[in-house]
Chains A and B, each alone.
Chain A
Amino acid sequence: MKSVPEENQNLMKCEHMSCSYGGAPVIEGVDLTIRRGEFVGIVGPSGSGKTTLLRALLGSIKPVHGKVERLPGLRLAYVPQLETVDWNFPVTVGEVIGMSRPQRLMRPKSQNSELALIEDVLERLGLGGLLQRHIRELSGGQQQRVFLARALIQKPDMLILDEPTAGVDVRTRHEVLHVLADLNESPPHGDGIAIVLTTHDLNGLAAHLPRLVCFNRTVIADGTPAEVLQPYFLERTYGAPMEVLQHGGMPIVLEQGGDELRNRLNRSSAS
């Protein structure tokens, strides 16, 4: 299996992939390759098909055209967008983390290494004392880490996260990013985990990643943030003109038309 972890080994490859929910395709002609240990961000406007792309990578929807190839035996784990979680469901932190464990009533001995992994994951994510809490009795960052822990216990080669920093403050965003960077470099099991995430946060998150994909129904640009965060690609992705500044070697994306909006709002509040 993965006894010979090659650098740059392809974990997953989409070729000319199109997907739909029964009607017209929502994403079309997607070419995308994810290699072992990569850290990839996907950006694009609302409704551009980012979540759909993740579902296709996971295999929960099948392409109507083209194909997805996965490395045989590839282990995938998914951290859904927190907004999709049912927060009224009676379930504790411990129960959420435990639900992805395989159930082996007959072979209790083989669980020792598994328990060690669980303890390691809990300690890394700082969830140790929270196992009895209901999932709603946590901060946004803790909630994110609970679902991350559930994914990590499946010992994934590749972790897929949908908007892991939506609706959290700057500090929590940092915290989540640091945890992900740690996992990418030195996971609790095996060698580096490949990470694929979507985000709406161009400056706070996307610009810091090693690889970025601009996406709107298909891949519009794919490369380092410096290569991808260019006015030409951004306008094709978002359908609105954007300006890019350089600050300490990092691109910063600015919306255009901000002045006009400010003037309008100030005028209306003055009158």
Chain B
Amino acid sequence: MIVAVDLLKPFSYEFFRNGLIIATLAGALCGLIGVFVVLRGMSYIGHGLSHAVFGGAALAAVLNLNYFLGAGFWGLASGLMIGRVSRKRIIGADAAIGVITTASFAMGLALQARFGQAKRSIDAVLFGNVLGVFTSDILAVAGVGVLSVVVIIGLYRKLLFATFDPEVAGVSGVSVPAMEAVLMVLLSATILVTVRVIGVLLISALLVLPAVTARLMTNSFGRMLWLSPVLGAIFGGVGMYISWYADIPSGAVIILAGTLVFIAAYSAVGVRRRSQLAGLSHH
């Protein structure tokens, strides 16, 4: 009885409930978008965008602009700049992302240190501040989540075709640039609504960890598409819950929980492949 009461205790605090909801939702959303991020090799773009958006958010705060306006505009501008720089072909896209987004991130840190009213600590920027969540943040993440689910179900085959086999998709009547644009918009929206709450590092991790873990567990695109958000939600929710008891920042626990599951899946696959090979050599 006492144990049961104790386990439920954190739920009596509203800030914990909000934090748990947002960590779970953000995990699911990043898990869903992460499938495309991983399969299309966009993880560095996601990493870059989250850094750039953070810079924009800091600037918006200093100028007293609306967060979504400032951060959204800045993210868009960085995306376009990355495109321009890398199209010149002297500098590769990855290097262009590195330069532009780390500069943007550094600017954000500088602005925050110099002008931030309630100087947020560095780890709040990197790992977010899951406990300072408003209902509006939850609604924003939920809204982008619903939008993503609707778009991905509605365009399922086209998105798969354009991701797996762009050349043939193009001649089969799928507009590959349109599908790429749709995914970029979903990725940017995901980062925009989550970066303030769950932090720059955590987004990068959540965009990759659930998807690569799901990839290890299935060979089917359709199954990966629901497995990855489920894993993301579990990483987020369980990590959040454990962090309460372990008294470790939630972001760090979420990443560690995800990494542990990834390692377990990786080892399990290794064992399965090895036993398959052993089975083959016996026959």
Contacts and interface: CB of A to CB of B under 8 A. Distances in A.
Of the listed residues B167, B171, B222, B224, the one surrounded by the most CB atoms of chain A closer than 10 A to its CB is B171
B221 A95 contact: yes
Contacts of B171: 58-60, 76-78
A156 to B, nearest CB: 10
Of the listed residues B154, B165, B221, the one surrounded by the most CB atoms of chain A closer than 10 A to its CB is B165
A99 B170 CA distance: 12
Interface in B210-249: 215, 218-222, 224
Contact of A90 (B154, B156, B157, B219): B219
Contacts of A91: 160, 164, 219-221
B161 interface: yes
Of the listed residues B161, B172, B215, the one surrounded by the most CB atoms of chain A closer than 10 A to its CB is B172
B184 interface: no
Contacts of A86: 164-165
A58 B161 CA distance: 17
Interface stretch (A100-108, A119-127, A232-240): A100-108
Contacts of A58: 171
Nearest to A150: B168
Given A99-B165, A101-B157, 17 more contacts: A58-B171, A60-B167, A60-B171, A77-B171, A78-B167, A85-B165, A90-B215, A90-B220, A91-B164, A91-B220, A92-B221, A95-B160, A99-B157, A99-B169, A103-B154, A132-B220, A154-B172
23 contacts: A58-B171, A59-B171, A60-B167, A60-B171, A76-B171, A77-B171, A80-B165, A80-B167, A84-B167, A86-B164, A89-B164, A90-B218, A90-B224, A91-B219, A96-B164, A99-B160, A100-B157, A100-B161, A100-B172, A103-B154, A103-B157, A134-B220, A154-B172
Interface string B264-282: 0000000000000000000
A223 interface: no
Contacts of B167: 60, 78, 80, 84
B39 to A, nearest CB: 7
Contacts of B169: 99
A59 B171 CA distance: 7
B157 A78 contact: no
Of the listed residues A84, A96, A99, A103, the one surrounded by the most CB atoms of chain B closer than 10 A to its CB is A99
A105 B154 contact: yes
Given A95-B160, A103-B158, A90 B221 contact: yes
Contacts of A150: 168
Q: Which of under 10, 10 to 19, 20 to 34, or 35 or more describes the interface residues of A?
A: 20 to 34
Contacts of A92: 219-221
A57 B14 CA distance: 63
B158 A134 contact: no
A103 B172 CA distance: 13
Contacts of A103: 154-158
A95 B220 contact: yes
The majority secondary structure among interface residues of chain B is helix
A77 B169 CA distance: 10
Interface string B129-169: 00000000000000000000000001111101100110111
Nearest to B169: A99
Interface of A: 58-60, 76-78, 80, 84-86, 89-92, 95-96, 98-101, 103, 105, 132, 134, 150, 154
Nearest to A84: B167
Contacts of B215: 90
A78 B172 contact: yes
A78 B168 contact: yes
Nearest to B172: A100
Interface string B92-110: 0000000000000000000
A168 to B, nearest CB: 20
Nearest to A86: B164
A125 B164 CA distance: 22
Of the listed residues A76, A80, A86, A89, the one surrounded by the most CB atoms of chain B closer than 10 A to its CB is A89
A98 B154 CA distance: 15
A134 B157 contact: no
Contacts of B168: 78, 80, 150
A85 B222 CA distance: 19
Nearest to A92: B220
A89 B39 contact: yes
Contacts of B156: 103
Contact of A98 (B157, B172, B218): B157
Nearest to B225: A90
B180 to A, nearest CB: 16
Given A85-B165, A90-B215, A95 B170 contact: no
Nearest to B218: A90
Contact of A99 (B164, B218, B224): B164
Contacts of B218: 90
A95 B222 contact: yes
A197 to B, nearest CB: 15
A34 B158 CA distance: 29
A79 B158 CA distance: 17
B219 A134 contact: yes
A86 B221 CA distance: 13
